[in-house]
Amino acid sequence: MSIGNYQQTIYMSKNVVVITAISGEVDISYKSLCLNTWKHWCNRHDVELIILESGVMDTDYMKPTWQRWYVFDILKMHAIDYNQVALVDVDTMIHWNAPNFFDETDNKFSACVDNDNIGWVKESIDGYRKFFKAELDWENYFNCGFIVINQVHNKLCDEIKKFRNDNHSELVDLQKTLKKGTDQTPVNYIVNDSEFTVNYLSKKWNLTHLNRKEILQNNVFVDLGWVWHFNGFDKAHRTPLMQRTWDGIKDNYKIK
């Protein structure tokens, strides 16, 4: 169901997948291709699928990637009961036979290591270091395109939101000058310096930089991961690549 055109109240606690699909300056014409796969997976595992199509504020002021950290406020606003919550990027697709990743989290903050482009990671860590006292090791750096959290991480989300609001102007400037991500590196710093332990999931749950891994041709990646993340290349190629992928695997999904 889509937030912004919400008509049903959920009374039974479930695990929830939240996909941020807020329209802004970025083209997300591939959204339906993402949702085709996630709807199927959520139906298989009795997981509630929430699609964030309306932001908490204008995307000119706050990027959708920052707005996802308002997830607990949004769930509370719409009286949605939940157990664990997965925050998932809209430029992902999930394998039709993927197991239930909620069983692999140990109820901890869970994510996948992001080390496909260490140079980019180092520049981003260095670029955001001035905001934080603690150091951040690139070996522990995770990707924010697939995160699993639960109720105990509400205060962590509050800290992320506060950091964004307190440093709005500087962060906007860095997005134009540093050009090394939006929320991802600050979130890594904040989580790394928090009381929470990160549960690192198998890379299969966030298989990024498909082209860099040389597995993009002939859809080789389909058999190598559970969640395919179409990033790390010119964004103009994203829709055609996701469409090509869908055309090759769509018979494995039952669309409801």
Task: Give pLDDT tens digits for 26-68.
Answer: 789 999 999 999 999 999 999 999 999 987 888 888 899 999 9
Residue type, 142: F
In a domain, residue 255? The reply is no
Residue 106 CA, chain-centre distance (Å), reads: 19
Which CA distances in Å does 110 have to 146, 149, 160? 8, 7, 16
Q: Is the pLDDT score of 240 beyond 50?
A: yes
All residues at 6 or more sequence positions from 44 whose CB lies less than 8 Å from its CB, including other chains: none
Q: Which residues constitute the domain of residue 13?
A: 2-249
- Structural domain contains residue 103: yes
pLDDT value, residue 10: 41
Report the C-alpha gap between 198 and 253 in whole angstroms.
32
* Tens-digit pLDDT profile for residues 122-153: 999 999 999 999 999 999 999 999 999 999 99
pTM for this one? 0.92
Minimal CA–CA distance to 64: which of 31, 98, 102, 15? Answer: 31
Q: Is residue 256 part of a domain?
A: no
Provide the phi-psi class of 4: left if phi over 0, else alpha when psi is between -120 and 50, else beta: left
Percent of the chain with pLDDT over 90: 86
Mean pLDDT, the chain, integer: 92
Number of domains in the chain: 1
Looking at residue 94, which CATH number applies to its domain?
3.90.550.10
User: Is 254 inside any structural domain?
Assistant: no
Task: Encode pLDDT of 199-235 as tens digits.
Answer: 999 999 999 999 999 999 999 999 999 999 999 999 9
Within a domain: 164: yes
- Per-residue pLDDT, averaged over 66-73, amounts to 96
Integer Cα distance of 123 and 180 in angstroms: 7
